[in-house]
Amino acid sequence: MSELNVVAISEAKLPLDPFVARHLIAGSWRDSCSGETFERTSPSHGALVTRAAKGNAQDVDAALQAARAAFDDNAWRSTSGKDRATLLLKVADLIDRDREKIALLETLESGKPISQARAEIEGAADIWRYAASLARNIHGESHNSLGDDFLGLVLKEPIGVVSIITPWNFPFLIVSQKLPFALAAGCTVVIKPSEMTPATTVVLGELLIEAGCPAGVVNIVLGYGDPVGIAMTTDKRVDMVTFTGSTAVGKGIVKAASGTLKKVSLELGGKNPQVIFPDADLDSAVDAVAFGVYFNAGECCNSGSRIIVHEDIVEEFIARTVSLSKDVPFGDPLDPSTKVGAIITPDHQQKIDAYVQQAGQDGADIRLGGGPLQVPGLSGQFYKPTVISNVKAEMPIAREEVFGPVLSVLTFKTLDEAIALVNDADYGLSAGVWSENVHTCLEFARKAQAGTVWTNTWMDGFAELPFGGVKESGQGRELGKYGVEEFLEAKTVTMRIGRTRAPWVETRTK
């Protein structure tokens, strides 16, 4: 039997012509002012997938002008929640209709498996429907206990023009965690998808137009962080930036936005721990560890990239994890049986490998993998499932986001020690605990510094539940009712009832 479960090239056909992606500005599809384009080739097959308009500051200027005008003319923000919900529901139906097309483009640009891409597009449609329910439920507060002569109102108003900047690892899902909530709130937007994965955001723009979204409400500018992202975060016409991506770029965005004091909401990286106690259901825990670290080839903010295992069971747990890792189907993303596809770029593959080799030099043990994976028939880059034990808390492999299919194993003796290891991190996105003891799980959930805690599960998500990080994993929340609150501003209206106000100045002329 082969050492690893490798899926060779599938029968599925690649599209003959590249997808042509243009900017969406003021309701029409446009080439760049400069006429420049850029291309994206599939990280698994090396085939040209997309040719996209390459935006610059002039294109952003036009998009911001359109978004600002569409907000300031009041037409969109004064639509009823019912009308906004109707639009979002239509978009959800169109996403379902075009799921195959969107999933294929997502797979070809990102390298993720087609079956996973289909599930993500289905999940995205569900989020659009959930956001539609919130659009009809935006309300503030009334204060009727301020005394007989006062009534206080807190109105919720859309924050204004929003810049949405997204990464390459979940392009359609992440734009769907932001855009329908911004629209539900009554905001207008300019979106910049990653230069690696522009196509599915453009398809979403097409669906928005088909659903009847008014011109200028949603604008899309394609291109690179510099100059497109920079212009979208510094321009004074922007009221808020919502960004998902790396912590380093996120910190830069906070600085860029500070010139005009925009609101900034950030979903950033993670180094997410799962703690495994001896009394856990180990079959489920091993499976969740494999899912946590190999899902999306580990290119996942929620990657369960470090596990902290009780000393008494660590050797057994590593042996079981290594054995199960060998069964995970890595290979051609177009084959529906594949669970782990390609790595996004050759540079990123090298970065992953450098972390692994450094861990070896630091004294950790590479128990499985630890290098590039050759997939028969495919020219793209793939990385072997990799398990590293004897990892110490101070090693880079235990602290930094590797963003690859690489698991670090640390050990603990007591709950306090495990929690200290969990919290000894710059990041705080998610954390998990495996134990049959509810007291252990609850104490862990209370003490772990993370935006999400999973007990006896990993990476389950719901449109109803908020998602986001603490510490250097971000600020603000997406999804749940908080998802729409992010895009709303509170306005206080204080009303005096009747002519009861005692004069501040007594008039001297009688």
Q: Shortest gap between Cβ of 226 and ligand NAD (angstroms)? A: 6
Residue 474 found at the interface with ligand NAD (CB under 6 A): yes
CA 83 from chain centre, in angstroms, equals 27
Q: Shortest gap between Cβ of 170 and ligand NAD (angstroms)? A: 6
CA 171 from chain centre, in angstroms, equals 8
Residues 347 and 304 sit within 8 Å (Cβ to Cβ): no
Nearer to ligand NAD, 34 or 80 (CB): 34
Q: H-helix or E-strand containing 474?
A: strand 474-475
Contacts of 132 (CB under 8 A, 6+ apart): 84, 85, 86, 88, 89, 92, 180, 184
Q: H-helix or E-strand containing 199?
A: helix 199-211
Residue 252 found at the interface with ligand NAD (CB under 6 A): yes
Residue 244 found at the interface with ligand NAD (CB under 6 A): yes
Window 389-408: residues binding ligand NAD (CB under 6 A): 401, 403
Residue 55 found at the interface with ligand NAD (CB under 6 A): no
Residues 368 and 403 sit within 8 Å (Cβ to Cβ): no
Q: Shortest gap between Cβ of 224 and ligand NAD (angstroms)? A: 6
Window 293-312: residues binding ligand NAD (CB under 6 A): 301
The residue type of 180 is P
Nearer to ligand NAD, 427 or 434 (CB): 427
Nearer to ligand NAD, 157 or 400 (CB): 400
Q: How far apart are the first and last CA of the chain?
A: 105
DSSP β-ladder status, 188-192 and 218-220: parallel
Residues in the chain: 510
Nearer to ligand NAD, 8 or 248 (CB): 248
Residues 164 and 219 sit within 8 Å (Cβ to Cβ): no
Neighbours of 145 (CB within 10 A): 8
Nearer to ligand NAD, 269 or 292 (CB): 269
Residue 192 found at the interface with ligand NAD (CB under 6 A): yes
Residue 249 found at the interface with ligand NAD (CB under 6 A): yes
Q: Binding residue for ligand NAD (CB under 6 A) from 158, 216, 269, 370?
A: 269
Q: How many residues bind ligand NAD (CB under 6 A)?
A: 32
Residues 182 and 240 sit within 8 Å (Cβ to Cβ): no
Residues pairing with 161 in the sheet: 188
Q: What are phi and psi of 24, to 5 degrees?
A: -105, 110
Q: What are phi and psi of 475, to 5 degrees?
A: -145, 140
Window 156-185: residues binding ligand NAD (CB under 6 A): 165-170, 174
Residue whose structure tokens are 């390298």? 111
Q: How far apart are CA 262 and CA 235, in angstroms?
A: 10
Nearer to ligand NAD, 195 or 486 (CB): 195
Q: Shortest gap between Cβ of 344 and ligand NAD (angstroms)? A: 8
Nearer to ligand NAD, 167 or 205 (CB): 167
Active site residues: 267, 301
Residues 410 and 307 sit within 8 Å (Cβ to Cβ): yes
Q: Shortest gap between Cβ of 367 and ligand NAD (angstroms)? A: 25
Window 221-240: residues binding ligand NAD (CB under 6 A): 224-226, 229-230, 233
Q: Which span (189-197, 210-218, 316-324, 367-375) binds ligand NAD, by CB under 6 A?
A: 189-197
Q: Which span (39-47, 218-226, 324-332, 437-445) binds ligand NAD, by CB under 6 A?
A: 218-226
Site residues for ligand NAD per CB under 6 A = 165-170, 174, 192, 194-195, 224-226, 229-230, 233, 244-246, 249, 252-253, 267-270, 301, 401, 403, 429, 469, 474
